[in-house]
Amino acid sequence: MSSITINGEAHEFSGDPNMPLLWYVRDMLNLTGTKFGCGAGVCGACTVHLDGVAVRSCQTTLGEAAGKTVTTIEGLSPDGEHAVQQAWRKISVPQCGFCQSGQIMQAASLLAKNRAPSDAEIVEAMSGNICRCGCYQRIHEAVRLAAGGV
C-alpha cells in the first residue's frame, strides 16, 4: 500500500506499482483532464507535476510517485485562474485543445522555477509538447505573457 497526494487529496494505492500515473488518474480516479497522446513520453499531452516539476505521467510509475505530491490540470488552480491559464485564454491559444492540458502544465512548471524565461528557454522547455494543430506561435506568446504577469 502506498500513498500519493493528488491535487491535495491523499490516495492509497495497492495495485501494480509499475502502472503509469496517467492511467491511474484517468481510469481509476476519473481525472480526465490529463491526456493520453503517445504512451512513450514523446508528446507531452500527459504532463502533470510531480512535487511541482513537470513530468510525463505516461512514463512515471505509481511506484515512483509514491509518497510524493501530484498536481494535474484539475488541481493547477482552484478557480482555473492560474497565470498560465489566463494567458492561454487571453491569446486564444487552443484549436482542438487536446494537447493544451499538457502544454499548460509544462508552461506552469517552467514559470515556477524561472519567472522570466528567455525565448530560448521557453523553446527548450516546450519542445517536448507536440501540438498537431500548430498553436506554437500562440503558445510561445502566452508563456511570455504569463511570465510578465497577465
The DSSP result for 24-53, as a single string, is IIIIIS--TTS--S-SSSSS-TTEEEETTE
Q: Which of 47, 60, 72, 109 binds other proteins (CB under 8 A)?
A: 72
Size of the site for other proteins (CB under 8 A): 59
> Does position 108 bind other proteins by CB under 8 A?
no
Nearer to other proteins, 85 or 109 (CB): 85
Which residues within the stretch 112-141 sit at the binding site for other proteins (CB under 8 A)? Answer: 123-124, 126-140
Over the window 21 to 60, marking each residue x when it contacts other proteins by CB under 8 A and - when it does not, the resulting string is --xx-xxx-xxxxxxxxxxx-xx-x---------------
Tell me the window of 49-57, 63-71, 80-88, 110-118 that interacts with other proteins (CB under 8 A): 80-88
CB of 31 to other proteins, least distance (A): 8
Sign, CA dihedral 76-3-30-55, equals: positive
Q: Three-state SS for 9?
A: strand
Residues with Cβ within 8 Å of residue 53, at least 6 apart in sequence: 109, 113
Length of the chain: 150
